[in-house]
Structure 1
């Protein structure tokens, strides 16, 4: 057995033991698709301890390249929208824009998609093509359509898939629009995060079909949702849990905050809800429901740390800090942002703080709601 085969088997065994790889058809697909073939362009490794994050390239043949390909971890493959590992010597300090998702999450989502032998699948976000290849192996390539926003990413994925003798329909475009030409689909799966599930996905899915997507917001908390499409053109379904996080689809990313408001203005009062709750994933998800357009900043001011939420649409803001053991909030703008947060958390606590798996996502032509 080659080193690559040993590493591949170890990864499969770990995913099986961890419960992400559960059924025989997906086990056969995972065995047949070598991940390293989709990472021949290399990846970026984060420089340990770097603040802000710095990244250094790891290219095919470099020490540790093959071993990393078969680790159960996400690997960054593009920086700043255009930069790939071969472009860099040394380090780069920019934001990642594309990655190869950790294999256990890829397989967990494919299992959760509940495909059937004749399912037609639309994948939103081709990425390296690894998950596309798994779908092609599990189904037939004629049943798989994949949409990717980035032309260069598409070119690399097509090349990697062709090496595996796989030729599904791959389209360059805005995945939020789906791909009507190949519709209707039995399943849609998104490997990017969204703030709201697009109605176009529902329109392109057969009644009874499933949409699997990660729903989140600008406070950085997101969860996997599985929606069933109904005859009336709506869709609904539960959050599946697991603290799943993907890069947001580029049209859904947060806009620049711009010039900060005068944080010395506003009305100040004591609050029972402290900024420490913003560190909790579930609580942050609940807060996002009350402040869906808010972004968070942490500032050092006047000898203390302030956590600031700014609603980028209305201009409302709230600054929360601790003083003499008490939490203080100062807020201003057309909406009382922290009042909305307190109200939402109050209702959630009154309901017994239900887990995110008890939440339901509903999408209609009028918009999206999430409730417990």
Structure 2
């Protein structure tokens, strides 16, 4: 088992997940809390927290109030808000992270709890009223298939929660096919690698659902390649960070359709004009100052499932170039047990 093997396994994991949840039974149990007008609270840590962002956007876009807060902050600074929620949705690959355990110990009995975990044999799943598993399997260090399977399950979750699930499963199966095609060699990464390999830091930028990709991309580069990286929204980048652009800094910008893709493309051209090394992932544009990594144009809420693939492969390449084993932790561990 290796980081690259985990990356290649993602299409099969996604197909298996969709087939598992095509049955109505797992979703029917939620009907008892679905009718409530109270807000949903979405929480997690790390990649699990980032995977919740497209769901948070979608629910609020559809007029269904949802709040997203990382578990460590919710535990210490806002546990009282849980009492007024219709449901607390907690995502954790292991279901054993220390913040998750302590949060559940604090709010147990105050709110209905739904969980998304990799398996059902963990603390979080055991203390949930509604448990959902991705069955992504064991993983080497850095989240890859557990992240994309969480994205997919949360995509299904949101559509079922709002009663708009008709096309959700077929759309995800189509994405699985596109993922497989891309991973079989259709992602042209060599120009991107050559453009970024001398950079000393990376800034990953997205808007809308692609902000989840930007945040997770930065995490993947830090974990897999030990490369300093930060994830930001395109809007936040213009409020100060633009001043840090230099020929030594690398930028990965996600622009694969949606209502703000043109803003990300515009930003990519502008950063390149200031000397930054820019890779644009998504809808390619012709600009001599940057490198594009084209992806199939899909619904922007599904696009994070494709956008993260070149990131995973690039991070593995950075790690190998540095003499590292991709996905092998140096100071931390897969399951965080220390606050």
TM-score range, shorter chain: 0.3 to 0.5
Q: TM-score, normalised by structure 2?
A: 0.34
Task: Report 1 or 2 for greater relative contact order, CA contacts < 8 Å, sequence distance ≥ 6.
Answer: 2
Structure whose alpha-carbon radius of gyration is higher: 1
Structure with more helix by fraction: 2
- When normalised by structure 1's length, the TM-score is 0.31
